[in-house]
Chain A
Amino acid sequence: MSGPADLTITEASARLSAGDLTAVDLTEAVLSRASLTEAVVHAYLTLDQDGARQAATESDERRAAGQSKGPLDGIPIALKDNMTTAGLETTAGSRILSGYVPPYDATVVERLKSAGAVLTGKTNLDEFAMGSSTENSAYGPTRNPWDPSRVPGGSSGGSAAAVAAGSALGALGSDTGGSIRQPGALTGLVGFKPTYGRVSRYGLIAFASSLDQIGPLTRSVEDAALLYEAIAGPDPRDSTSYPGELEPVRNALEEDIRGLRVGVVTELSVEGIDPAVAAAFGRTVDRLADAGAEIVEVSMPSTRVALSAYYLIAPAECSANLARFDGVRYGLRVDGSTVEDMMAATRAEGFGPEVIRRILLGTYALSAGYFDAFYGQAQRVRTLIIREFAAAYLQADVLVSPTAPTTAFELGAKTQDPLSMYMSDVCTIPVNLSGDPGISVPVGLDEAGLPIGFQVMAPALAEPLLFRAAAAVERAADPVGRPTIEEVPS
């Protein structure tokens, strides 16, 4: 089964411009795909059919009046449910925000709206973006459209599954330790985490403020570039937003990779990597060399401890970020005999076990007497990793590794073992700590027919370079195709 819902954004945009397709027809195709897949895939927490239809109608009217807002006008895009949407429930996948309707749009939502995008709804996620499989959602897991017995990755698993299944043409996710790139890899999509500060976090429900970054999940590198250019750029409402003008990236896609020094990070590419993933990775690197890239080996020993540093810094920040969910002003409230009892009861009932685990870890890491040994030490490791990246970029223009050590795993396979779940992000975490951009590009399928991702990393703000390399990877890759939707039982 294939139709308008399976087009790339670029293809759909061209057909909308040519008058071969209307935004209403495209949106209906996407909504009808959702009605076919949602019962099993569960990509959405809120499917905003009325809002999407309204936006599509308005888009067609604009186009008819010759006032199209550009390439995203009329394109159905899904939003991870940790981005605030005025008037539309936003839960962050948590019971504690059940029924919460924000009074304002996140900056990225404003920007997508002003680009004319049709926002289809809010996608499922690990609660507060904490997880790598979307099994930590308070509203039930999302399943991988390539194989419903498997996870779509996480935490942006709902966004990834929606784009893979065809219930959106593209989606926004958020990436704190790999939460865009890893689900991108596991669902055969391009997942892009921009440089920290390049996309405004205003309206992104914070998990770990110094690591969180919003980015696109799409079916092609070009689509990722298109969405990125629509949402990125300075925002005075986010003090950590990079104030420099946005450099366009789409014009970098056509440049070939000849002469580019591509550094294979040894520590992220060998140990603990599934053989099929390693094989696809190696094959792609060889093809990049064939295309004229200069391949160099780069050693970054500190990346071995990146995961440990991450699991101190991210929980520390989340322990404060999630303190506001106390039942006083919004969201769930569980009564108690005193205000303190009410807060404690609300939080005990409102948060799931992984969130509670991380709040406890973070609270402990910041406690008097432990701060220096845990949080302080983690920040020193972070500094070390930043220096190691700087040194690596003296040897190579971009760095590459597999995106995730494995392809999509079975639901429940890692839920009893948090550490093995945490290992899913071992390749993606380093650039969250350094703040650099990273992108995952699908490069093939394993023997079970599951997609494999290839990660490209570049120096901070070097998005044009990153996209140049990513486009070359896409050209060098084995075709991944689309999941077979008819096989999804309904």
Chain B
Amino acid sequence: MTWEPVIGIEVHVELMTASKMFCGCKVDFTSEPNTNVCPVCLGLPGALPVTNKTAIEWITKIGLALNCTISDVSQFHRKNYFYSDQPKNYQISQFDVPVCHDGWIDVEANGETTRVRINRAHMEEDTGKSIHTGDGGRIHSATGTLLDFNRAGVPLVEIVSEADIRTAVEARAYAQSLRDIVATLGVSDVKLEEGSIRFDANISIRPDSASEFGTKVEIKNMNSFRSLERAIDHEIGRQASVLESGGNIIQETRHWDEEQGVTHGMRSKEGSSDYRYFPEPDLLPISISDEWRAGIAATMPELPAARVARYVDLGLDADTSAVLVGGEMGMWPLFEEAVDAGASPRQVANWLVGETTAWLRREDTSLDESALNGSHLASLAAMVDEGHLSATAAKEVLAAVLDGAGDPESVARDLDLLQISDLGPLEEAVDAAIVANQDQFERLVAGEEKLIGFFVGQVMRSTGGKADPALVTQILRARLS
């Protein structure tokens, strides 16, 4: 039997606002534990929340980027459950009226475009962090638990897709697109490995022709796009083998084990959770006026899809454009800077997607940590255009610049890669080559065109490879006439 997977993705994005969602504490994960805390985010008796206006502006930006409707009035609710790293034992979240609802994004996977609908994006607060001490840092073998509340109360946006995704590859593309959009908005540092963006997947499978959904399983703990894809593929396979051997899927939450490449069921209590949502009486409803919304919309940056389209108009192919715009590399700002300074878009794109990416992989580093900037690329392109540098030499210079050797001009000079483009010395070299190879020159004059290459080669040899071959050809032709 063939099965159709049905997948929905829930994304949690931590906003990098200056202060937390409901208090003035800093959002900063580099601080010592429990230093960015106050009565409000520690849930001390008597403390009250006050909504962070910037966070509301930022979730509105996210909603607009995801083509959502922004609610004129939305409301916070309390989501009640006991957990030791949740200071109030309820989370201030949203329930029936989220800030953003009913959006969509288009996702490219396997050469096809799929529209994934967004059910909602709502505002909530993050919990603290439990650090289990003792054997291996795992909860089952822990001898103690330390609590760090620096993260408690950090603004968190939860984005819930509809179950419109059908393959693990599509799920990954959706997740990457969301990450790219949020990164473009500049509202989160979107680091999967640090948990500032987190993906959970709801997966069920059904017979290919069925119209009803199967029982869904939620999988958690994927901290890379690759593990998201692997986990979903594994879970699809697991569900198929359970059903094919006559078993039933249990609605549960399963944990992805990256090392073993499997999902494990988490201990779950009988029945489903009842969070007893009710309207948060400490906060007034959030009203977003047309003026406020318009003001936020006016600050929207160019989104990845529009940027890709614009790069295609500049003459790049779609794949190259997508790589420049998306991904962890963050290459497009350098691209734009170089192109704005007059560099050829294709030239710069090729350097970034080709040599630069290869170099970063080889060195296991990131563009941020390399020495390369946009003006480097612009001057490199200018040197090639003006004939001071050969295409081959440019790649060598680029690698050295990435490595921090300096700006392209000084690197090219230091490495002695600058082309001779002064007419005088080149004319001398051409004439010397003619004198030394009279036979060949007469045959060339007689029409044996391929000997042009021979003479260019001679000049390149005599100049140690630094002659501009185009200029050499030009001089030679002048001697023929």
**Residues in chain A within 8 A of chain B (CB atoms):** 82-84, 90, 92, 97, 100, 102-104, 106, 201-206, 208-210, 236-240, 316-317, 319-320, 323-326, 328-330, 339-340, 343, 363, 366-368, 371, 375
B282 proximal to A (CB < 8 A)? yes
Q: Which of A319, A339, A375 contacts B84 (CB 8 A)?
A: A339
Interface pairs A-B: 9 shortest CB-CB: A323-B89, A366-B276, A209-B281, A210-B281, A203-B46, A205-B45, A84-B46, A324-B43, A368-B274
B39 proximal to A (CB < 8 A)? yes
B213 proximal to A (CB < 8 A)? no
CB-contacts of B64-90 with A (<8 A): 78, 80, 82, 84, 87-90
Q: Are B89 and A324 in contact (CB under 8 A)?
A: yes
Cα distance A227–B33 when bound, in Å?
42
11 interchain pairs (CB within 8 A)? Answer: A204-B46, A209-B281, A209-B282, A239-B283, A240-B283, A323-B80, A329-B43, A329-B44, A343-B82, A366-B278, A367-B274
When C-beta atoms are compared, the residue in chain A nearest to B22 turns out to be: A239
Chain B residues with Cβ under 8 A from A206's Cβ?
45-46, 282
Chain A residues with Cβ under 8 A from B281's Cβ?
208-210, 240, 317
When C-beta atoms are compared, the residue in chain A nearest to B24 turns out to be: A237
Q: Are B89 and A239 in contact (CB under 8 A)?
A: no
Q: Are A106 and B90 in contact (CB under 8 A)?
A: no
Whole-angstrom distance between the Cβ of B71 and the nearest chain A Cβ: 18
B50 proximal to A (CB < 8 A)? yes
Whole-angstrom distance between the Cβ of A240 and the nearest chain B Cβ: 7
Interface residues on B, range: 20 to 34
B48 proximal to A (CB < 8 A)? yes
Interface centre among A82, A92, A97, A102 (most CB of B within 10 A): A102
Cα distance A204–B323 when bound, in Å?
55
Q: Are B78 and A326 in contact (CB under 8 A)?
A: no
B243 proximal to A (CB < 8 A)? no
Whole-angstrom distance between the Cβ of B196 and the nearest chain A Cβ: 25
B176 proximal to A (CB < 8 A)? no
Whole-angstrom distance between the Cβ of B148 and the nearest chain A Cβ: 12
Chain A residues with Cβ under 8 A from B80's Cβ?
319-320, 323, 366
Known: A328-B84, A329-B42, A329-B87. A339 touches B48 (CB 8 A): no
Known: A90-B45, A240-B282, A320-B80. A104 touches B88 (CB 8 A): no
Q: Are B45 and A202 in contact (CB under 8 A)?
A: no
Cα distance A423–B45 when bound, in Å?
29
Whole-angstrom distance between the Cβ of A198 and the nearest chain B Cβ: 15
Cα distance A373–B74 when bound, in Å?
24
Cα distance A367–B80 when bound, in Å?
11
Known: A210-B281, A367-B276. A323 touches B48 (CB 8 A): no
Whole-angstrom distance between the Cβ of A108 and the nearest chain B Cβ: 11
Known: A324-B89, A366-B278. A102 touches B46 (CB 8 A): yes
Whole-angstrom distance between the Cβ of B305 and the nearest chain A Cβ: 37
Cα distance A239–B76 when bound, in Å?
13
B300 proximal to A (CB < 8 A)? no
Whole-angstrom distance between the Cβ of B150 and the nearest chain A Cβ: 14
Q: Are B45 and A92 in contact (CB under 8 A)?
A: yes
Cα distance A329–B152 when bound, in Å?
13
Q: Which of A82, A84, A106, A328 contacts B147 (CB 8 A)?
A: A328
Q: Are A326 and B89 in contact (CB under 8 A)?
A: yes
Whole-angstrom distance between the Cβ of B292 and the nearest chain A Cβ: 17
Cα distance A328–B276 when bound, in Å?
22
Chain B residues with Cβ under 8 A from A326's Cβ?
82, 84, 89
Whole-angstrom distance between the Cβ of B254 and the nearest chain A Cβ: 22
